[in-house]
Structure 1
């Protein structure tokens, strides 16, 4: 956990963050060079502060809030919905590994390994 004291974000601040991410996705769909695109994705995929981890944190917090909410009656539907929310949050936590995939692509670019060279066969991949 960080020592950061949270402030209450406004709905508009959250919307602005999603608009910024939408702008990034739209830009990446224009096929910029890897050298231009990768630095923009590094903070997005950061293993500590990237979007998957932070969204996972937010969803896990929502899970705990909903699980303890007395106005939500205990039911099978509530349990299934909360289980799905928790599972999705855990899946997002696992996505922190994307940072390593991006680093590996950087290494390949720096080493000059291009698509013209034959990679060794990876078991299970064709």
Structure 2
């Protein structure tokens, strides 16, 4: 996509977990992402366990349980439904568009160092 080239967010397909972590850290910095998240291992165990391909939204609650399971995309992929669920549970959130990558500052907090997702067997 032209916008990916313009924003310098084109990456080669990662071949190692370290490469996936590097890409995730870049995301955290560019978008000042402050929520913790996991990174799938190279066997894609979390992707397989959650049937995440081609796209799917899950919300995991504070106790590590699935609190919201969205439909499988592309036809049942409804981000607005997830936003409504989050607003109903936690209240409306003011959303600001992320600044361009050239203005992004390093993120701080728990999400500054994304960690690999737990194995599917641990779920």
TM-score of the pair, normalised by structure 2: 0.23
Q: Which has the higher contact order (CA 8 A, sep 6+)?
A: 2
TM-score of the pair, normalised by structure 1: 0.22
More helix by proportion, 1 or 2? 1
